[in-house]
Structure 1
Protein backbone atom coordinates (compact mmCIF):
# COMPACT_ATOMS: atom_id res chain seq x y z
CA UNK A 1 0.00 0.00 0.00
CA UNK A 2 1.28 3.46 -0.93
CA UNK A 3 -0.12 6.60 0.68
CA UNK A 4 0.77 9.19 -1.94
CA UNK A 5 -0.62 12.71 -1.97
CA UNK A 6 -1.50 15.31 0.63
CA UNK A 7 -3.44 14.21 3.70
CA UNK A 8 -5.04 16.70 6.08
CA UNK A 9 -4.95 16.02 9.85
CA UNK A 10 -8.25 17.59 10.78
CA UNK A 11 -8.79 19.94 13.68
CA UNK A 12 -11.56 19.22 16.17
CA UNK A 13 -14.08 22.08 15.99
CA UNK A 14 -15.95 22.95 19.18
CA UNK A 15 -19.33 24.60 19.55
CA UNK A 16 -20.07 27.61 21.76
CA UNK A 17 -20.64 25.31 24.74
CA UNK A 18 -17.27 23.63 24.22
CA UNK A 19 -18.59 20.32 22.87
CA UNK A 20 -17.25 18.70 19.71
CA UNK A 21 -19.16 20.08 16.73
CA UNK A 22 -19.55 16.96 14.62
CA UNK A 23 -21.53 18.71 11.89
CA UNK A 24 -18.79 21.26 11.29
CA UNK A 25 -16.18 18.50 11.38
CA UNK A 26 -18.04 16.70 8.61
CA UNK A 27 -18.24 19.89 6.54
CA UNK A 28 -14.51 20.52 6.90
CA UNK A 29 -13.75 16.96 5.85
CA UNK A 30 -15.80 17.36 2.69
CA UNK A 31 -14.22 20.73 1.93
CA UNK A 32 -10.62 19.51 1.94
CA UNK A 33 -11.49 16.35 0.03
CA UNK A 34 -13.37 18.38 -2.59
CA UNK A 35 -10.24 20.54 -2.90
CA UNK A 36 -8.33 17.39 -3.81
CA UNK A 37 -6.78 16.02 -0.62
CA UNK A 38 -5.90 12.34 -0.95
CA UNK A 39 -7.13 11.57 2.53
CA UNK A 40 -7.70 12.63 6.11
CA UNK A 41 -6.11 11.97 9.47
CA UNK A 42 -8.33 11.61 12.52
CA UNK A 43 -7.12 12.06 16.09
CA UNK A 44 -3.73 13.53 15.26
CA UNK A 45 -1.94 16.20 17.27
CA UNK A 46 -3.82 18.89 15.33
CA UNK A 47 -7.09 17.41 16.62
CA UNK A 48 -6.13 18.23 20.26
CA UNK A 49 -6.57 14.52 20.80
CA UNK A 50 -5.26 14.50 24.38
CA UNK A 51 -8.15 16.75 25.42
CA UNK A 52 -10.85 14.53 23.92
CA UNK A 53 -12.74 11.94 25.93
CA UNK A 54 -12.96 8.34 24.74
CA UNK A 55 -16.54 8.97 23.64
CA UNK A 56 -15.52 12.09 21.68
CA UNK A 57 -12.68 10.25 19.96
CA UNK A 58 -15.08 7.50 18.92
CA UNK A 59 -17.54 10.06 17.55
CA UNK A 60 -14.83 11.81 15.53
CA UNK A 61 -13.69 8.53 13.98
CA UNK A 62 -17.30 7.59 13.22
CA UNK A 63 -17.91 10.84 11.34
CA UNK A 64 -14.68 10.73 9.36
CA UNK A 65 -15.05 7.03 8.57
CA UNK A 66 -18.41 7.86 7.03
CA UNK A 67 -17.08 10.77 5.00
CA UNK A 68 -14.09 8.84 3.67
CA UNK A 69 -16.23 5.83 2.90
CA UNK A 70 -18.62 7.91 0.82
CA UNK A 71 -15.81 9.81 -0.91
CA UNK A 72 -13.48 6.86 -1.51
CA UNK A 73 -10.72 8.64 0.42
CA UNK A 74 -8.04 7.22 2.69
CA UNK A 75 -8.43 7.66 6.44
CA UNK A 76 -5.57 7.34 8.90
CA UNK A 77 -6.40 7.31 12.60
CA UNK A 78 -4.11 8.20 15.48
CA UNK A 79 -3.76 5.14 17.73
CA UNK A 80 -1.04 4.23 20.18
CA UNK A 81 -2.20 1.21 22.17
CA UNK A 82 -3.27 -2.31 21.26
CA UNK A 83 -6.79 -1.48 22.45
CA UNK A 84 -7.01 1.63 20.25
CA UNK A 85 -5.70 -0.30 17.27
CA UNK A 86 -8.10 -3.20 17.71
CA UNK A 87 -11.02 -0.75 17.76
CA UNK A 88 -10.20 0.09 14.13
CA UNK A 89 -10.86 -3.44 12.87
CA UNK A 90 -14.46 -2.72 11.87
CA UNK A 91 -13.72 0.67 10.26
CA UNK A 92 -13.56 -0.08 6.54
CA UNK A 93 -12.34 3.37 5.53
CA UNK A 94 -9.32 3.18 7.83
CA UNK A 95 -6.28 2.31 5.73
CA UNK A 96 -3.70 2.69 8.49
CA UNK A 97 -3.07 3.82 12.04
CA UNK A 98 -0.75 6.75 12.72
CA UNK A 99 1.35 5.70 15.72
CA UNK A 100 3.56 8.13 17.60
CA UNK A 101 7.14 7.27 18.50
CA UNK A 102 6.90 6.86 22.31
CA UNK A 103 7.19 10.36 23.80
CA UNK A 104 8.98 11.57 26.92
CA UNK A 105 10.54 8.24 28.00
CA UNK A 106 13.22 8.31 25.25
CA UNK A 107 13.52 4.50 25.03
CA UNK A 108 16.34 4.51 22.46
CA UNK A 109 16.18 3.14 18.95
CA UNK A 110 16.07 -0.51 20.01
CA UNK A 111 13.15 0.26 22.29
CA UNK A 112 11.29 2.11 19.53
CA UNK A 113 11.72 -0.81 17.12
CA UNK A 114 10.54 -3.31 19.74
CA UNK A 115 7.56 -1.10 20.56
CA UNK A 116 6.42 -0.93 16.93
CA UNK A 117 6.94 -4.65 16.47
CA UNK A 118 4.58 -5.23 19.40
CA UNK A 119 2.00 -2.76 18.05
CA UNK A 120 2.20 -4.36 14.61
CA UNK A 121 1.55 -7.80 16.07
CA UNK A 122 -1.60 -6.50 17.79
CA UNK A 123 -2.95 -4.33 14.99
CA UNK A 124 -5.65 -5.27 12.45
CA UNK A 125 -4.53 -2.40 10.18
CA UNK A 126 -1.14 -1.31 8.83
CA UNK A 127 0.91 1.22 10.79
CA UNK A 128 2.44 4.55 9.84
CA UNK A 129 5.16 5.72 12.22
CA UNK A 130 4.79 9.32 13.41
CA UNK A 131 8.33 10.61 13.94
CA UNK A 132 8.38 14.12 15.41
CA UNK A 133 11.48 14.34 17.61
CA UNK A 134 10.97 17.92 18.84
CA UNK A 135 7.76 16.69 20.51
CA UNK A 136 8.77 13.20 21.59
CA UNK A 137 12.39 13.81 22.61
CA UNK A 138 13.42 10.67 20.70
CA UNK A 139 15.38 11.03 17.47
CA UNK A 140 15.71 8.18 14.98
CA UNK A 141 18.56 7.56 12.59
CA UNK A 142 17.91 6.43 9.04
CA UNK A 143 19.16 3.01 10.10
CA UNK A 144 16.43 2.83 12.75
CA UNK A 145 13.77 3.89 10.24
CA UNK A 146 14.94 1.14 7.90
CA UNK A 147 14.58 -1.36 10.75
CA UNK A 148 11.03 -0.13 11.32
CA UNK A 149 10.28 -0.46 7.60
CA UNK A 150 11.34 -4.10 7.78
CA UNK A 151 8.38 -4.84 10.10
CA UNK A 152 5.71 -6.29 7.80
CA UNK A 153 2.79 -4.17 9.02
CA UNK A 154 4.72 -0.87 9.07
CA UNK A 155 4.03 0.74 5.69
CA UNK A 156 5.29 4.28 6.08
CA UNK A 157 6.32 7.22 8.20
CA UNK A 158 5.11 10.73 8.86
CA UNK A 159 8.54 12.28 8.91
CA UNK A 160 8.67 15.55 10.82
CA UNK A 161 12.29 16.48 11.59
CA UNK A 162 13.22 19.93 12.77
CA UNK A 163 15.77 20.31 9.98
CA UNK A 164 16.95 18.48 6.89
CA UNK A 165 20.20 16.80 7.88
CA UNK A 166 22.17 13.92 6.44
CA UNK A 167 19.79 11.31 7.83
CA UNK A 168 16.82 13.08 6.25
CA UNK A 169 18.56 13.29 2.88
CA UNK A 170 19.47 9.60 3.07
CA UNK A 171 15.91 8.53 3.86
CA UNK A 172 14.16 10.82 1.38
CA UNK A 173 16.45 10.06 -1.56
CA UNK A 174 16.65 6.32 -0.91
CA UNK A 175 13.56 5.13 0.98
CA UNK A 176 13.05 1.42 1.70
CA UNK A 177 11.24 -0.33 -1.13
CA UNK A 178 7.47 -0.17 -0.74
CA UNK A 179 7.75 2.20 2.24
CA UNK A 180 5.98 5.56 2.05
CA UNK A 181 7.68 8.68 3.39
CA UNK A 182 5.20 11.49 4.09
CA UNK A 183 6.56 14.95 4.85
CA UNK A 184 5.30 16.12 8.22
CA UNK A 185 7.11 19.42 8.81
CA UNK A 186 4.96 22.02 7.05
CA UNK A 187 7.70 24.63 6.58
CA UNK A 188 10.05 22.03 5.08
CA UNK A 189 7.53 20.60 2.63
CA UNK A 190 9.15 21.93 -0.56
CA UNK A 191 12.67 20.63 0.09
CA UNK A 192 11.32 17.31 1.36
CA UNK A 193 9.27 16.85 -1.81
CA UNK A 194 12.27 17.88 -3.89
CA UNK A 195 14.33 15.17 -2.20
CA UNK A 196 11.71 12.51 -2.86
CA UNK A 197 8.93 12.49 -0.24
CA UNK A 198 5.94 10.59 -1.63
CA UNK A 199 3.40 13.00 -0.15
CA UNK A 200 2.61 14.75 3.09
CA UNK A 201 0.44 15.05 6.18
CA UNK A 202 -0.04 18.80 6.59
CA UNK A 203 -2.10 20.77 9.09
CA UNK A 204 -1.48 23.89 6.97
CA UNK A 205 -3.44 22.29 4.14
CA UNK A 206 -6.68 23.08 5.99
CA UNK A 207 -6.52 26.59 4.57
CA UNK A 208 -4.73 26.34 1.22
CA UNK A 209 -5.46 22.78 0.19
CA UNK A 210 -5.35 23.35 -3.56
CA UNK A 211 -2.04 25.22 -3.37
CA UNK A 212 -0.34 22.48 -1.36
CA UNK A 213 -1.62 19.94 -3.86
CA UNK A 214 -0.28 22.07 -6.70
CA UNK A 215 3.14 22.16 -5.04
CA UNK A 216 3.28 18.38 -4.75
CA UNK A 217 2.09 18.00 -8.34
CA UNK A 218 4.71 20.44 -9.62
CA UNK A 219 7.55 18.53 -7.98
CA UNK A 220 6.27 15.19 -9.22
CA UNK A 221 5.98 16.64 -12.73
CA UNK A 222 9.53 17.98 -12.64
CA UNK A 223 8.42 21.63 -12.77
CA UNK A 224 11.14 22.83 -10.45
CA UNK A 225 10.92 26.59 -11.09
CA UNK A 226 7.18 26.70 -10.48
CA UNK A 227 7.55 24.50 -7.43
CA UNK A 228 10.25 26.69 -5.89
CA UNK A 229 8.16 29.85 -6.18
CA UNK A 230 5.01 28.26 -4.76
CA UNK A 231 7.01 26.41 -2.13
CA UNK A 232 8.43 29.64 -0.76
CA UNK A 233 4.97 31.19 -0.53
CA UNK A 234 3.62 28.15 1.28
CA UNK A 235 6.64 28.10 3.60
CA UNK A 236 5.75 31.62 4.72
CA UNK A 237 2.12 30.65 5.18
CA UNK A 238 3.05 27.56 7.20
CA UNK A 239 5.36 29.59 9.43
CA UNK A 240 2.52 32.03 10.13
CA UNK A 241 0.08 29.20 10.87
CA UNK A 242 2.54 27.72 13.37
CA UNK A 243 3.49 31.02 15.01
CA UNK A 244 1.57 29.86 18.09
CA UNK A 245 0.95 26.33 19.36
CA UNK A 246 -0.92 24.26 16.79
CA UNK A 247 -3.84 24.42 15.95
CA UNK A 248 -4.65 27.79 17.54
CA UNK A 249 -3.77 29.95 14.51
CA UNK A 250 -5.29 27.48 12.04
CA UNK A 251 -8.56 27.60 13.98
CA UNK A 252 -8.39 31.40 14.02
CA UNK A 253 -7.99 31.49 10.25
CA UNK A 254 -10.76 28.96 9.67
CA UNK A 255 -13.03 31.12 11.83
CA UNK A 256 -12.00 34.24 9.89
CA UNK A 257 -12.96 32.41 6.71
CA UNK A 258 -16.38 31.56 8.18
CA UNK A 259 -15.65 27.84 8.01
CA UNK A 260 -15.94 27.14 11.75
CA UNK A 261 -18.26 28.99 14.17
CA UNK A 262 -15.52 29.95 16.63
CA UNK A 263 -11.76 29.50 17.13
CA UNK A 264 -12.13 27.73 20.49
CA UNK A 265 -9.34 25.45 21.70
CA UNK A 266 -9.11 23.45 24.91
CA UNK A 267 -6.60 23.96 27.69
CA UNK A 268 -3.67 23.82 27.94
CA UNK A 269 -3.88 25.64 24.59
CA UNK A 270 -5.07 29.23 24.41
CA UNK A 271 -6.72 31.03 21.48
CA UNK A 272 -4.29 32.66 19.08
CA UNK A 273 -3.72 36.40 19.25
CA UNK A 274 -5.49 38.53 16.66
CA UNK A 275 -2.12 39.70 15.31
CA UNK A 276 -1.08 36.10 14.60
CA UNK A 277 -4.36 35.36 12.84
CA UNK A 278 -4.12 38.56 10.79
CA UNK A 279 -0.57 37.71 9.73
CA UNK A 280 -1.62 34.22 8.63
CA UNK A 281 -4.62 35.58 6.70
CA UNK A 282 -2.28 38.04 4.95
CA UNK A 283 0.00 35.21 3.81
CA UNK A 284 -2.99 33.09 2.85
CA UNK A 285 -4.46 35.87 0.70
CA UNK A 286 -1.07 36.41 -0.96
CA UNK A 287 -0.81 32.69 -1.73
CA UNK A 288 -4.37 32.23 -2.98
CA UNK A 289 -4.82 35.64 -4.65
CA UNK A 290 -7.50 36.59 -2.15
CA UNK A 291 -9.61 33.50 -2.77
CA UNK A 292 -10.20 33.06 0.95
CA UNK A 293 -11.03 36.57 2.10
CA UNK A 294 -12.49 37.11 5.55
CA UNK A 295 -16.19 36.32 5.90
Structure 2
Protein backbone atom coordinates (compact mmCIF):
# COMPACT_ATOMS: atom_id res chain seq x y z
CA UNK A 1 0.00 0.00 0.00
CA UNK A 2 1.27 3.46 -0.94
CA UNK A 3 -0.01 6.60 0.74
CA UNK A 4 0.75 9.58 -1.43
CA UNK A 5 -0.92 12.71 -2.72
CA UNK A 6 -3.89 14.54 -1.25
CA UNK A 7 -6.22 13.22 1.46
CA UNK A 8 -9.18 15.37 2.49
CA UNK A 9 -10.31 15.00 6.13
CA UNK A 10 -14.00 15.45 5.50
CA UNK A 11 -16.26 17.63 7.59
CA UNK A 12 -19.46 16.16 8.97
CA UNK A 13 -22.26 18.28 7.48
CA UNK A 14 -25.40 18.77 9.57
CA UNK A 15 -28.97 19.22 8.42
CA UNK A 16 -31.30 21.91 9.76
CA UNK A 17 -32.67 19.46 12.35
CA UNK A 18 -29.15 18.77 13.67
CA UNK A 19 -28.78 15.31 12.16
CA UNK A 20 -25.87 14.27 9.98
CA UNK A 21 -26.57 15.29 6.37
CA UNK A 22 -25.50 12.04 4.75
CA UNK A 23 -26.47 13.06 1.21
CA UNK A 24 -24.27 16.16 1.49
CA UNK A 25 -21.41 14.10 2.91
CA UNK A 26 -21.63 11.67 0.01
CA UNK A 27 -21.60 14.54 -2.50
CA UNK A 28 -18.56 16.09 -0.82
CA UNK A 29 -16.70 12.78 -1.00
CA UNK A 30 -17.48 12.46 -4.69
CA UNK A 31 -16.50 16.11 -5.26
CA UNK A 32 -13.04 15.87 -3.72
CA UNK A 33 -12.25 12.45 -5.13
CA UNK A 34 -13.44 13.53 -8.55
CA UNK A 35 -11.16 16.58 -8.33
CA UNK A 36 -8.06 14.46 -7.84
CA UNK A 37 -7.77 13.57 -4.14
CA UNK A 38 -6.11 10.21 -3.49
CA UNK A 39 -8.54 9.52 -0.69
CA UNK A 40 -10.53 10.90 2.21
CA UNK A 41 -10.26 10.74 5.97
CA UNK A 42 -13.35 9.84 7.98
CA UNK A 43 -13.64 11.04 11.58
CA UNK A 44 -10.55 13.20 11.56
CA UNK A 45 -10.60 16.24 13.84
CA UNK A 46 -12.21 18.20 11.01
CA UNK A 47 -15.16 15.79 11.15
CA UNK A 48 -15.94 16.71 14.80
CA UNK A 49 -15.94 13.04 15.86
CA UNK A 50 -16.13 13.77 19.59
CA UNK A 51 -19.50 15.45 19.03
CA UNK A 52 -20.93 12.48 17.12
CA UNK A 53 -22.74 9.54 18.68
CA UNK A 54 -21.35 6.03 18.15
CA UNK A 55 -24.15 5.35 15.68
CA UNK A 56 -23.35 8.55 13.75
CA UNK A 57 -19.65 7.70 13.61
CA UNK A 58 -20.40 4.21 12.33
CA UNK A 59 -22.75 5.55 9.65
CA UNK A 60 -20.18 8.09 8.46
CA UNK A 61 -17.47 5.44 8.15
CA UNK A 62 -19.77 3.00 6.34
CA UNK A 63 -20.88 5.65 3.85
CA UNK A 64 -17.35 6.81 3.04
CA UNK A 65 -16.05 3.25 2.84
CA UNK A 66 -18.68 2.56 0.20
CA UNK A 67 -17.77 5.65 -1.83
CA UNK A 68 -14.05 4.88 -1.73
CA UNK A 69 -14.62 1.26 -2.70
CA UNK A 70 -16.84 2.27 -5.61
CA UNK A 71 -14.30 4.82 -6.89
CA UNK A 72 -11.17 2.79 -6.16
CA UNK A 73 -9.76 5.39 -3.75
CA UNK A 74 -8.31 5.15 -0.26
CA UNK A 75 -10.15 5.62 3.01
CA UNK A 76 -8.30 6.54 6.20
CA UNK A 77 -10.29 6.42 9.44
CA UNK A 78 -9.47 8.54 12.47
CA UNK A 79 -9.70 6.41 15.61
CA UNK A 80 -7.95 5.35 18.78
CA UNK A 81 -9.26 1.81 18.27
CA UNK A 82 -8.27 0.38 14.87
CA UNK A 83 -10.47 -2.64 15.54
CA UNK A 84 -13.40 -0.38 14.61
CA UNK A 85 -11.95 0.29 11.13
CA UNK A 86 -13.38 -1.67 8.18
CA UNK A 87 -10.99 -4.05 6.47
CA UNK A 88 -11.40 -2.13 3.22
CA UNK A 89 -9.75 0.96 4.74
CA UNK A 90 -6.20 1.85 3.74
CA UNK A 91 -5.19 2.89 7.25
CA UNK A 92 -6.23 4.12 10.68
CA UNK A 93 -5.15 7.65 11.63
CA UNK A 94 -4.21 7.40 15.29
CA UNK A 95 -3.18 10.24 17.56
CA UNK A 96 -0.04 10.24 19.72
CA UNK A 97 -1.53 9.71 23.21
CA UNK A 98 -2.54 13.21 24.33
CA UNK A 99 -2.28 14.85 27.74
CA UNK A 100 -0.52 11.99 29.55
CA UNK A 101 2.91 12.81 28.03
CA UNK A 102 4.23 9.22 28.19
CA UNK A 103 7.69 10.13 26.87
CA UNK A 104 9.21 9.04 23.59
CA UNK A 105 9.84 5.44 24.68
CA UNK A 106 6.24 5.23 25.86
CA UNK A 107 4.97 6.48 22.50
CA UNK A 108 7.01 3.84 20.65
CA UNK A 109 5.77 1.09 22.98
CA UNK A 110 2.17 2.29 22.60
CA UNK A 111 2.21 2.24 18.80
CA UNK A 112 4.08 -1.07 18.70
CA UNK A 113 1.30 -2.66 20.77
CA UNK A 114 -1.46 -0.93 18.79
CA UNK A 115 -0.01 -1.90 15.40
CA UNK A 116 0.36 -5.52 16.49
CA UNK A 117 -3.38 -5.88 17.01
CA UNK A 118 -4.62 -3.55 14.26
CA UNK A 119 -6.29 -5.12 11.21
CA UNK A 120 -5.11 -2.19 9.05
CA UNK A 121 -1.87 -0.17 8.87
CA UNK A 122 -1.49 2.85 11.12
CA UNK A 123 -0.80 6.45 10.20
CA UNK A 124 0.49 8.20 13.30
CA UNK A 125 -0.86 11.69 13.91
CA UNK A 126 1.91 13.79 15.43
CA UNK A 127 0.60 17.19 16.53
CA UNK A 128 2.61 18.15 19.63
CA UNK A 129 0.98 21.55 20.18
CA UNK A 130 -2.22 19.61 20.92
CA UNK A 131 -0.85 16.43 22.55
CA UNK A 132 1.96 18.08 24.57
CA UNK A 133 4.27 15.22 23.57
CA UNK A 134 7.29 16.21 21.43
CA UNK A 135 9.01 13.55 19.32
CA UNK A 136 12.50 13.80 17.89
CA UNK A 137 13.40 12.82 14.33
CA UNK A 138 15.20 9.80 15.79
CA UNK A 139 12.02 8.65 17.54
CA UNK A 140 9.94 9.19 14.41
CA UNK A 141 12.37 6.91 12.58
CA UNK A 142 11.94 4.31 15.33
CA UNK A 143 8.18 4.52 14.79
CA UNK A 144 8.64 4.13 11.04
CA UNK A 145 10.41 0.82 11.69
CA UNK A 146 7.46 -0.61 13.65
CA UNK A 147 5.70 -3.32 11.59
CA UNK A 148 2.24 -2.11 10.62
CA UNK A 149 3.06 1.61 10.80
CA UNK A 150 2.64 2.99 7.28
CA UNK A 151 3.06 6.71 7.70
CA UNK A 152 2.88 9.93 9.66
CA UNK A 153 0.62 12.95 9.63
CA UNK A 154 3.18 15.60 10.55
CA UNK A 155 1.69 18.72 12.13
CA UNK A 156 4.25 20.36 14.39
CA UNK A 157 3.08 23.90 13.70
CA UNK A 158 5.81 24.85 11.24
CA UNK A 159 9.16 23.68 9.89
CA UNK A 160 11.45 22.80 12.78
CA UNK A 161 14.86 21.14 12.94
CA UNK A 162 13.40 17.66 13.48
CA UNK A 163 11.15 18.07 10.43
CA UNK A 164 14.14 19.02 8.28
CA UNK A 165 16.14 16.12 9.72
CA UNK A 166 13.35 13.61 9.06
CA UNK A 167 12.66 14.77 5.50
CA UNK A 168 16.36 14.91 4.67
CA UNK A 169 16.48 11.14 5.08
CA UNK A 170 12.93 9.75 5.10
CA UNK A 171 12.56 6.07 6.03
CA UNK A 172 11.91 3.82 3.06
CA UNK A 173 8.26 2.94 2.57
CA UNK A 174 7.12 5.41 5.22
CA UNK A 175 4.68 8.07 4.02
CA UNK A 176 5.26 11.50 5.56
CA UNK A 177 2.08 13.51 5.00
CA UNK A 178 1.91 17.19 5.88
CA UNK A 179 -0.86 18.10 8.29
CA UNK A 180 -0.33 21.85 8.71
CA UNK A 181 -2.17 23.33 5.76
CA UNK A 182 -0.46 26.72 5.76
CA UNK A 183 3.01 25.19 5.40
CA UNK A 184 2.18 22.29 3.09
CA UNK A 185 4.06 23.93 0.21
CA UNK A 186 7.47 24.01 1.97
CA UNK A 187 6.86 20.52 3.38
CA UNK A 188 6.30 19.21 -0.14
CA UNK A 189 9.39 21.07 -1.33
CA UNK A 190 11.37 19.29 1.39
CA UNK A 191 10.06 15.90 0.25
CA UNK A 192 6.75 15.14 1.98
CA UNK A 193 4.72 12.48 0.14
CA UNK A 194 1.51 14.48 0.27
CA UNK A 195 -0.85 16.00 2.78
CA UNK A 196 -3.97 15.52 4.89
CA UNK A 197 -5.48 18.94 4.35
CA UNK A 198 -8.83 20.30 5.54
CA UNK A 199 -8.37 23.35 3.30
CA UNK A 200 -8.67 21.06 0.29
CA UNK A 201 -12.44 20.95 0.65
CA UNK A 202 -11.98 24.10 -1.43
CA UNK A 203 -9.78 24.39 -4.53
CA UNK A 204 -9.36 20.61 -4.35
CA UNK A 205 -7.90 20.25 -7.82
CA UNK A 206 -5.26 22.88 -7.03
CA UNK A 207 -4.25 21.17 -3.81
CA UNK A 208 -4.13 17.82 -5.62
CA UNK A 209 -1.91 19.33 -8.31
CA UNK A 210 0.38 20.83 -5.67
CA UNK A 211 0.86 17.47 -3.93
CA UNK A 212 1.70 15.80 -7.25
CA UNK A 213 4.08 18.45 -8.53
CA UNK A 214 5.24 21.17 -6.17
CA UNK A 215 4.88 24.70 -7.52
CA UNK A 216 6.00 27.67 -5.41
CA UNK A 217 3.54 30.17 -6.86
CA UNK A 218 0.55 27.88 -6.43
CA UNK A 219 1.80 26.96 -2.97
CA UNK A 220 1.87 30.62 -1.91
CA UNK A 221 -1.69 31.22 -3.11
CA UNK A 222 -3.01 28.12 -1.38
CA UNK A 223 -1.21 29.07 1.83
CA UNK A 224 -3.15 32.37 1.90
CA UNK A 225 -6.38 30.43 1.43
CA UNK A 226 -5.45 27.99 4.21
CA UNK A 227 -4.63 30.84 6.59
CA UNK A 228 -8.08 32.30 5.99
CA UNK A 229 -9.81 28.95 6.45
CA UNK A 230 -8.04 28.42 9.80
CA UNK A 231 -8.68 31.95 11.09
CA UNK A 232 -11.20 30.44 13.52
CA UNK A 233 -11.31 26.94 15.06
CA UNK A 234 -11.51 24.28 12.34
CA UNK A 235 -13.87 23.41 10.64
CA UNK A 236 -16.06 26.47 11.25
CA UNK A 237 -14.79 28.59 8.34
CA UNK A 238 -14.56 25.62 5.95
CA UNK A 239 -18.19 24.81 6.69
CA UNK A 240 -19.27 28.43 6.29
CA UNK A 241 -17.65 28.63 2.84
CA UNK A 242 -19.10 25.28 1.74
CA UNK A 243 -22.54 26.51 2.84
CA UNK A 244 -22.09 29.77 0.93
CA UNK A 245 -21.34 27.65 -2.14
CA UNK A 246 -24.53 25.64 -1.61
CA UNK A 247 -22.60 22.42 -1.09
CA UNK A 248 -23.88 21.65 2.43
CA UNK A 249 -27.32 22.45 3.92
CA UNK A 250 -26.09 24.44 6.95
CA UNK A 251 -22.80 25.92 8.21
CA UNK A 252 -23.51 24.41 11.63
CA UNK A 253 -20.89 23.01 13.98
CA UNK A 254 -21.54 21.34 17.31
CA UNK A 255 -20.41 22.64 20.69
CA UNK A 256 -17.82 23.40 21.93
CA UNK A 257 -17.24 24.91 18.48
CA UNK A 258 -19.08 28.04 17.37
CA UNK A 259 -20.07 29.13 13.85
CA UNK A 260 -17.62 31.23 11.87
CA UNK A 261 -18.01 35.00 11.80
CA UNK A 262 -19.19 36.78 8.67
CA UNK A 263 -15.85 38.56 8.46
CA UNK A 264 -13.80 35.35 8.43
CA UNK A 265 -16.17 33.78 5.93
CA UNK A 266 -15.91 36.76 3.57
CA UNK A 267 -12.12 36.80 3.79
CA UNK A 268 -11.95 33.09 2.99
CA UNK A 269 -14.28 33.54 0.01
CA UNK A 270 -12.08 36.37 -1.25
CA UNK A 271 -8.95 34.21 -0.91
CA UNK A 272 -10.70 31.37 -2.70
CA UNK A 273 -11.59 33.62 -5.63
CA UNK A 274 -7.92 34.64 -5.88
CA UNK A 275 -6.90 30.97 -6.02
CA UNK A 276 -9.29 29.69 -8.67
Question: By the TM > 0.5 criterion, same fold?
Answer: yes
Distance 1:163 1:80 in 2: 25
Distance 1:214 1:127 in 2: 25
Greater displacement, 14-23 / 271-280: 14-23
Q: Which residue of 1 aligns with 2:152?
A: 157
Shift of 1:87: 2.5
Runs of 4 or more above 6 Å deviation: none
Q: Which residue of 1 aligns with 2:176?
A: 181
Shift of 1:92: 4.2
Q: What is the TM-score when the length of structure 1 is the normalising length?
A: 0.92
Q: Which residue of 2 aligns with 1:266?
A: 254
**1:197 pairs with 2:199:** no
Distance 2:158 2:197 in 1: 16
Shift of 1:134: 1.2
Q: Which residue of 2 aligns with 1:13?
A: 13
Distance 1:61 1:97 in 2: 12
Distance 1:218 1:33 in 2: 18
Distance 2:141 2:185 in 1: 23
**Contact 1:113 1:144 (8 Å CA) reproduced:** yes
Q: Which residue of 1 aligns with 2:83?
A: 86
Shift of 1:150: 1.0
Q: 2:224 aligns with which of 209, 233, 236?
A: 236
Shift of 1:215: 1.5
Q: Alpha carbon RMSD of aligned pairs, Å? A: 0.8
Q: Which residue of 2 aligns with 1:144?
A: 139
The superposition leaves residues 203-252 of structure 1 with CA deviations (integer Å, 9 ceiling, x where unpaired) of 00001101111222332xxxxxxx11111111100000000000000000
Q: Return 5+ residue gaps in structure 1 as ranges.
A: 220-226, 289-295
Tell me: higher relative CO, structure 1 or 2? Use CA pairs within 8 A at least 6 residues apart.
2
